[in-house]
Amino acid sequence: MATTAEHLKCKECGRTYPLEALFVCEYCFGPLEVSYDYEKIRRRATKERIAHGPPSLWRYADFLPVNEKPAVDLQAGYTPLIKADRLAAELGLKKLWVKNDTANPTHSFKDRVVAVALQRARELGFEVVACASTGNLANSVAAHAAASGTEAFVFVPANLEIQKIIATAIYGVNVVKVRGNYDDVNRLCTEIASEKKWAFVNVNVRPYYAEGSKTLAYETAEQLGWRAPDKVVTPVASGSLLTKIHKGFWELGEVGLIRRKAPSVHGAQALGCGPVAAAFQDGAEHVKPVKPDTIAKSLAIGNPADGIFALEVARQTGGSIESVTEQEIVDGIKLLAETTGIFTETAGGVTTAVLAKLAASGKIYPDDETVLYITGDGLKTLDAVADTISTYEIDPNYSQFEEDVLGDIIKS
């Protein structure tokens, strides 16, 4: 079935372009975004049709810029939405849910954006896929390329966590470690994209890639019984995810699947790479690029492409963009683990720490229905917390167990 997407539209000047591998406006250099025929979506996408769809993001195919679902696919999405009563109690909140996107095929929300980007790339006739990655995108592009037998080139900063490098190279794709930070990698990829006819998922097919993030909002609404929460807390790297969660809830209202409502959107960054948070706090119109220095490497984008739009969404919806220290990130990872059983990577530590800050400062009220987006798995960033855990070690001997373990517990 032909897609409900109509064209690409410049976010700055509104000029429209055909649904091809384009990403900037020729006139004003603004970024392009997919726009849809919402009448068509309203007619097609009934609650019944969605409920009968696959248990993956493809149940929302009517809202995505693809003509068909992929033939071979890792079934990303439709991850659990978990009522987090113990975490809520700890923070003085009453109605808190965690959207656990660590449950995706390569353990981060990037599987959503990659699934959509690669399907569109296939429809546009690309034979090679590529990406500039802070880590999770690399894992996901590599896995999806392997699943469909597509050639892939994955570019990452050379200092990336070893877990993320291994979990990319294992798929047999070309991994290129670039001596520089993410912003350097991204610049190089933009240059390569102008030379080679490759689909760089977050460069020349970025408008399609970005749409995949909307499915986080659709799933949240469906899992809450077709309504939007009052507040959402979401990490910010390039700012794309934040803006698309907002777009997703807006679209559901537009096509009549939920009552119109824009949740307050709160963005989370690390203080060591918080250009959007800094702009929010300063009331600035522009986002000033920074040099990243944080353990939250998957959020370490110093010059965020959609930072300005994330800022706009936070301001328009009565939300905010906050930043937290390295220690708060580690504490956030532990708090989430100890109260929900979900082990998140550093990005989720950032998000959890920002939620704690918002609850403590009264920006989130106890009765607000709040959804916390946890976007990546803790097994990918073990080094961040390796020094903070404690264990016992004993000989296989009962009296030693009593003395060294139970004795120690009684003392403390």
CB closer to ligand PLP out of 160 and 241:
241
Q: Which among Zn ion, ligand PLP, none contacts residue 28 (Cβ within 5 to 8 A by kind)?
A: Zn ion
Provide, rounded to whole angstroms, the least separation between the CB of residue 364 and ligand PLP. Answer: 20
Closest CA to 241 of 289, 286, 206: 206
Chain center to CA of 361: 25
**Residues 109 to 148 in contact with ligand PLP, rule: CB under 6 A:** 110, 136
Residues 397-406 as b/e (b if ≥16 CB within 10 A, e otherwise) read: eeeeeeeeee
Provide, rounded to whole angstroms, the least separation between the CB of residue 249 and ligand PLP. Answer: 16
**Residues 217 to 276 in contact with ligand PLP, rule: CB under 6 A:** 235-241
Provide, rounded to whole angstroms, the least separation between the CB of residue 156 and ligand PLP. Answer: 12
Which residue, chain included where needed, has tokens 């460069």? Answer: 203
Q: Is residue 320 involved in binding ligand PLP (CB under 6 A)?
A: no
The three-state secondary structure class of 266 is strand
Provide, rounded to whole angstroms, the least separation between the CB of residue 36 and ligand PLP. Answer: 20
CB closer to Zn ion out of 10 and 178:
10
Residues 5-32 as b/e (b if ≥16 CB within 10 A, e otherwise) read: bbbbbbbeeeeebebebebbbeeeeebb
Q: Which among ligand PLP, Zn ion, none contacts residue 239 (Cβ within 5 to 8 A by kind)?
A: ligand PLP
Helices 214-223 and 240-254 pack at an angle, to 10 degrees, of 50
CB closer to ligand PLP out of 263 and 376:
376
Q: Is 93 exposed, middle or buried (0-12, 13-18, 19+ CB in 10 A)?
A: buried
CB closer to ligand PLP out of 257 and 310:
310
Q: Which among ligand PLP, Zn ion, none contacts residue 25 (Cβ within 5 to 8 A by kind)?
A: Zn ion
For residue 22, give both structure tokens. Answer: 């384009």
**Calculated CA dihedral for residues 134, 139, 144, 150, nearest 10 degrees:** 80
For residue 34, give both structure tokens. Answer: 């997919």
Interacting residues of 257 by C-beta distance below 8 A, sequence separation 6+: 45, 47, 221, 226
CB closer to ligand PLP out of 129 and 255:
129
Separation between Cα atoms, residue 271 and residue 324, nearest integer Å: 5
Q: Which among ligand PLP, Zn ion, none contacts residue 12 (Cβ within 5 to 8 A by kind)?
A: Zn ion
For residue 384, give both structure tokens. Answer: 């961040």
Residues that bind Zn ion (CB under 5 A): 10, 12-13, 15, 25, 27-28, 30
Q: Is residue 168 involved in binding ligand PLP (CB under 6 A)?
A: no
Interacting residues of 173 by C-beta distance below 8 A, sequence separation 6+: 141, 142, 145, 146, 151, 152, 153, 154
Separation between Cα atoms, residue 119 and residue 40, nearest integer Å: 21
Q: Which among ligand PLP, Zn ion, none contacts residue 235 (Cβ within 5 to 8 A by kind)?
A: ligand PLP
CB closer to ligand PLP out of 257 and 305:
305
Q: Is residue 347 involved in binding ligand PLP (CB under 6 A)?
A: yes
Site string for ligand PLP, 22-61 (x = CB under 6 A): ----------------------------------------
Q: Is residue 375 involved in binding ligand PLP (CB under 6 A)?
A: yes
Is the torsion defined by CA of 351, 79, 208, 162 positive or negative?
positive
**Calculated CA dihedral for residues 6, 33, 75, 297, nearest 10 degrees:** 180
Q: Is residue 378 involved in binding ligand PLP (CB under 6 A)?
A: no
Q: Is residue 294 involved in binding ligand PLP (CB under 6 A)?
A: no
Q: Which among Zn ion, ligand PLP, none contacts residue 344 (Cβ within 5 to 8 A by kind)?
A: none
Provide, rounded to whole angstroms, the least separation between the CB of residue 61 and Zn ion. Answer: 28
> Of the candidates 276, 376, 384, 385, which one interacts with ligand PLP according to CB under 6 A?
376
Contact positions vs ligand PLP (CB under 6 A): 108, 110, 136, 235-241, 298-299, 345, 347, 375-376
